[in-house]
């Protein structure tokens, strides 16, 4: 299935038949449903860029090949619904989120399939706070789309359209002015970094950030043409190019982002991966040192964040997988920082969204203040290893029943069932959750060594297949 409708939006491959892929008719339908939802919830645009009584939506996109086509349809549909559109063009996901707030808009649509390959695209939907819709709100958008009862504007009530080219500058200024970002310390460190921008919007905005921070940089795959030079997910198996470049010894730090720049991975000065799980952990260690408090990550993220949080006197809480679940829990417990183990840093002092620019600026500040090499900083953090596996099932398998049986088997351990089943042992854990799109159970396990993590994963997979 190449068209996926979920509470977080709609995504799919470009081309093909309606209802099966991301195509113009389905883009119109879901954009219309989102606009109808915004109107239901009182969107009036009083403080928006046009200063009138029409709702205003911010539209931004990554550099995917299909982005221009999707953008035209989304923007045209919103105009046809009687909405004003502020189009910020090629922009990161966090840039679009911040622009919604900056403009006082009623919502935003980000056109990006994040780390998915080049044939994919998606619509990510924001509320008036520049945050992703809640599960309940997303479900309402899907219900409206299923009914297909939309009311479009007459000729005198069509929306207005403007281009806005200031959003990147707003974003960079917001980041460099954060209290815990020490621009002078970074400048005095004379860092040299290598960036893999994966032919998308990171190649546009991150050089602006580096220049503000006084960082010398080289960009690999910098042309924002959407023709990704490699698989865009920032995992070690996809990053041989920048890892080889780092082995030249010319740089202090390697930086990798995904196409919409909400995920962030680091590479040490010797060309070895810092570990995407440790992006959040390292930044949190610095933030908690200066502003002690609570933290949140999702259930499939490393235990190292809990260890770091407790070291600084705070409390750690786990959320279900998904950015909106993490931000909801962060607000509930008053977390000073949180995110996801896939390299997503959420720092409320800036905004409630994963933001690679925030992560980079805080990390460089920590590195500048502590001195030493990136690999030495990594060595100061708790060491865990995560194995990521899956169990393939038939479409007829009752996954919920299987998970319930596993939960019963391990009832004497610490069990969390807010998202699948997570079993916490003394020095390791395993998390099982069903896929929303495939008949599989994802099995993530973490332990002090990779061999132990793999062994724990295999043990639980054997239990599942034996039930």
Helix segments in 55-92, DSSP class H: 67-80
Q: Of 416, 334, 256, 354, whose CA–CA distance to 8 is shortest?
A: 354
How far apart CA 83 and CA 204 sit, in angstroms, is 28
CA angle, 90 then 94 then 96, to 5°: 50
Asked whether 81 and 158 are in contact (CB, 8 A), the reply is no
Q: Are 261 and 92 in contact (CB under 8 A)?
A: yes
By the 8 A CB rule, do 222 and 206 touch?
no
Report the alpha-carbon distance of residue 392 to residue 440 in Å, rounded.
5
Q: Has 240 been annotated as catalytic? A: no
Residue closest to 243 by CA, chosen among 273, 265, 205: 273
Q: How far is CA 294 from CA 111, 175, 275, 384, in A?
A: 32, 21, 23, 21
- Catalytic entry in 8, 66, 75, 114: 114
CA-to-CA distance for 205 and 226, rounded, in angstroms?
Answer: 15
E strand segments, 202-286: 216-220, 253-257, 264-267
Q: What is the chain's Cα-based Rg?
A: 22
Q: Tokens 């950030």 appear where?
A: 209
* In contact, 11 and 113? CB cutoff 8 Å: yes
Length of the chain (residues): 467
Q: Are 188 and 369 in contact (CB under 8 A)?
A: no
Tokens in use for 162? Answer: 């403007």
Residues belonging to the active site: 114
């Amino acid at each position: 299935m190449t068209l996926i409708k979920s509470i977080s939006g709609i995504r799919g491959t470009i081309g093909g038949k309606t209802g099966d892929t991301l195509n113009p008719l389905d883009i119109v339908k879901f954009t219309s449903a989102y606009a109808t939802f915004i109107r239901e919830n009182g969107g009036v645009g009083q403080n928006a860029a046009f200063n009138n009584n029409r709702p205003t939506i911010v539209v931004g996109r990554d550099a995917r090949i299909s982005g221009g086509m999707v953008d035209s349809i989304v923007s045209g549909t919103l105009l046809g619904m009687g909405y004003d559109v502020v189009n910020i063009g090629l922009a990161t996901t966090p840039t679009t989120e911040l622009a919604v707030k900056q403009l006082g808009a009623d919502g935003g649509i980000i056109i990006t399939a994040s780390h998915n390959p080049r044939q994919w695209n998606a619509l990510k939907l924001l509320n008036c706070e520049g945050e992703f819709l809640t599960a309940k709100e997303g479900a309402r958008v899907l219900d409206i789309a299923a009914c297909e009862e939309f009311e479009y504007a007459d000729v005198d009530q069509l929306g207005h359209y403007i281009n806005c080219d200031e959003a990147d500058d707003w974003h960079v200024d917001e980041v460099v002015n954060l209290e815990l970002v020490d621009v002078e310390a970074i400048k005095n460190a004379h860092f040299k970094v290598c960036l893999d921008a994966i032919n998308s919007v990171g190649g546009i905005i991150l050089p602006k950030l580096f220049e503000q921070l006084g960082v010398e940089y080289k960009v690999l795959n910098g042309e924002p043409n959407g023709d990704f030079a490699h698989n865009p997910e920032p995992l070690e198996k996809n990053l041989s190019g920048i890892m080889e470049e780092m082995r030249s010894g010319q740089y202090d730090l390697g930086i990798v982002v995904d196409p919409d720049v909400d995920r962030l991975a680091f590479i040490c000065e010797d060309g070895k991966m810092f570990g995407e799980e440790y992006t959040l952990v390292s930044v949190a260690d610095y933030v908690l040192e200066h502003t002690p408090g609570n933290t949140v990550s999702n259930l499939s993220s490393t235990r190292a964040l809990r260890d770091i949080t407790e070291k600084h006197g705070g409390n750690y809480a786990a959320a279900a997988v998904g950015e909106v679940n993490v931000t909801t829990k962060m607000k509930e417990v008053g977390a000073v920082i949180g995110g996801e183990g896939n390299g997503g840093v959420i720092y409320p002092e800036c905004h409630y969204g994963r933001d690679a620019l925030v992560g980079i600026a805080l990390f460089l500040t920590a590195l500048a203040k502590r001195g030493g090499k990136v690999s030495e900083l990594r060595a100061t953090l708790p060491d865990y290893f995560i194995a990521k596996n899956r169990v393939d099932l038939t479409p007829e398998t009752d996954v919920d029943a299987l998970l319930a049986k596993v939960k019963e088997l391990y009832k004497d351990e610490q069990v969390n069932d807010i998202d699948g089943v997570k079993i916490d042992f003394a020095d390791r854990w395993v998390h099982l959750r069903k896929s929303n799109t495939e008949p599989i159970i994802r099995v993530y396990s973490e332990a002090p060594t990779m061999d132990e993590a793999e062994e724990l994963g295999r043990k639980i997979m054997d239990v599942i297949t034996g039930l």
